[in-house]
Amino acid sequence: MSITNFHRQTSVTHLRYHFVFCPKRRRKVLVNGVADRLKMLLAEKSAELGWEIVALEIMPDHVHMFISTGPDVSPIQVMHALKGHTSRILRQEYPRLNTLPSLWTRSFWASTASYVSAETIQKYISEQKTRD
């Protein structure tokens, strides 16, 4: 497990968020090529913004993401950046996604994690595909 700390002139921070977000109407559209492309887009955009995805699991109807960001970024800014970017590109590349009024719901679930619970969250995310 890598530990990303954000070093600033006057501070060092270690902020990690566990997000869960869903396609509109919780449709099972995150399958096959869409899931693979979503994973790639999330990684690219996160790297561009200086964030690190610690764990990611894409289920057909929702996404679990554990991400490390700097202290100047709120959870809503993370979701806005990632959901907006991925929605635009995925809907261009996969026209069948345009049957939904929007790709993502406006809602999401977020939780913070400390050093102690980070392993628990990573294990939970990695075991998602083995659940019935």
Q: How many CB atoms lie within 10 A of CB 89?
A: 17
Q: What is the pLDDT of residue 1?
A: 44
Q: What is the pLDDT of residue 124?
A: 80
- Per-10-residue mean pLDDT of the chain, 132 residues long, equals 62 86 96 96 97 96 95 95 98 96 96 72 81 62
Q: What is the identity of the amino acid at 34?
A: V
Domains of the chain, first to last:
13-130 (3.30.70.1290)
Q: Which of the residues are catalytic?
A: 124
> d(Cα 12, Cα 8) in Å, to the nearest integer?
6
> d(Cα 69, Cα 22) in Å, to the nearest integer?
21
What is the rounded average pLDDT for all residues in the chain? Answer: 89
Q: How many CB atoms lie within 10 A of CB 2?
A: 6
Per-residue exposure over 46-77, b if at least 16 CB sit within 10 Å of its own CB, e if not: beeeebbbbbbbbbeebbbbbbbbbeebebee
